């Protein structure tokens, strides 16, 4: 476990650049429930961090605190050196730098696929419509949904919707994208089409924090695996090390449960 901790402070070990997302002693309660306990985490530019852990371990909450969809009780979170603002325009500006992909896709139900992708750039970035549409179509092509641009989200399959959601996040040119269980709501046959897009993104150098149960994705794309349990980061290591020889008892226990079948 000590060895894994040491690796966190060593960007060269994960082949990454400057610290982009830094959580320092972050605590969060839901009523009496202590969901995040003194969480320290640094994500470097270009790094792909996969967060694993049993349900209720706080991994989803951790992800949501990074763009402050969840507030924190104590500690600090900085994005590219800037502390996360509490509210208002400053917070909105920081959020626009952080993409987010949700488990339930959350595409704007009344907007077409293309409008979903252009809304942020037009309203938040002030991009003119023609430029936003051009870029939006490029991004939809990139995730393989170009043909569906004028449909409504509900007319698409789950896998297609999630790829649109990734394109929507990319349209803001974010510094980092958070994936909150992006394939958990998908039918099995649609998981791969989403993972392929994510793996390509990782190869293109996007900084990503990914909450997922997909071990295959972690092995193929992650620089680092962070294992959480009961609101704490229990251990972190490169995927091979973690999957083949987890250091903590809780890590071993978790892997034995998910890998046994």
Partner 1 sequence: MEILLDNIGKILEGFQVTLILFAGGTVLALVVGTVLASMRVSPVPPLRLVGATYVNVVRNTPLVLIFIIVVFALPELGIQFSFRLFAILAVGAYTAAFVTEALRSGVNTVQAGQAEAARALGMTFGQTLSHVIMPQAARSVIPPMGSILIALLKNTSVAAGFGVIEATGTLRELGRDFPQALYWLFFGIALGYVVLVLLVSAVFRQLERRLVVVR
For residue 67, the minimal CB distance to partner 1 (Å) is 6
Measured from the CB atom, the residue of 30 and 108 that comes closer to partner 1 is: 108
By CB under 8 A, name the one of 5, 27, 96, 248 that touches partner 1: 96
By CB under 8 A, name the one of 108, 216, 245, 258 that touches partner 1: 108
The reply to whether 112 sits near partner 1 by the rule CB under 8 A is: no
The reply to whether 123 sits near partner 1 by the rule CB under 8 A is: yes
Residues recorded for the chain:
261
CB neighbour list of residue 16: distance below 8 Å, 6 or more residues apart:
44, 45, 46, 47, 223
Distance CA 134, CA 194 (A): 23
Query: For residues 144-203, which are near partner 1 according to CB under 8 A?
Result: 152, 154-155, 165, 168, 172
The reply to whether 119 sits near partner 1 by the rule CB under 8 A is: yes
Task: Show the tokens assigned to 122.
Answer: 């037009």
Rounded to the nearest 10 degrees, the angle between the axes of helix 158-170 and helix 113-123 is: 20
Place of tokens 């695996």: 225
The reply to whether 134 sits near partner 1 by the rule CB under 8 A is: no
Selection from 14, 17, 168 nearest residue 81 by Cα: 17
The reply to whether 67 sits near partner 1 by the rule CB under 8 A is: yes
CA atoms within 13 A on the CB side of 7: 19
Measured from the CB atom, the residue of 16 and 143 that comes closer to partner 1 is: 143
Q: Which residues bind partner 1 (CB under 8 A)?
A: 67, 69, 89, 92-100, 102, 104, 106-110, 119-120, 123-124, 152, 154-155, 165, 168, 172
């Amino acid at each position: 476990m000590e060895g894994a901790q040491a690796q966190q402070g060593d960007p060269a070990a994960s082949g990454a650049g400057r610290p982009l997302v830094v959580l320092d002693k972050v605590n969060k309660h839901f009523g009496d429930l202590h969901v995040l306990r003194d969480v320290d985490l640094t994500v470097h530019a270009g790094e792909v961090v996969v967060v694993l852990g049993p349900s209720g371990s706080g991994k989803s909450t951790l992800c949501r605190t990074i763009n402050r969809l969840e507030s924190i009780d104590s500690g600090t979170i900085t994005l590219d050196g800037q502390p996360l603002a509490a509210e208002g325009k400053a917070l909105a500006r920081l959020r626009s730098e952080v993409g987010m992909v949700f488990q339930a896709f959350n595409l704007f139900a009344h907007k077409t696929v293309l409008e979903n992708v252009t809304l942020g750039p037009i309203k938040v970035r002030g991009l003119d419509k023609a430029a936003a549409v051009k870029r939006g179509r490029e991004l939809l092509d990139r995730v393989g949904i170009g043909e569906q641009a004028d449909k409504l989200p509900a007319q698409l399959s789950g896998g297609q919707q999630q790829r649109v959601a990734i394109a929507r996040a990319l349209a803001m040119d974010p510094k980092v994208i958070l994936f909150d269980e992006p394939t958990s709501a998908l039918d099995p046959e649609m998981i791969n089409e989403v993972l392929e897009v994510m793996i390509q993104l990782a190869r293109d150098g996007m900084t990503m924090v990914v909450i997922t149960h997909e071990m295959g994705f972690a092995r193929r794309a992650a620089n680092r695996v962070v294992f959480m349990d009961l609101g704490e980061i229990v251990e972190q290591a490169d995927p091979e090390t973690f999957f083949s020889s987890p250091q903590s008892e809780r890590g071993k226990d978790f892997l034995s449960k998910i890998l046994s079948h």
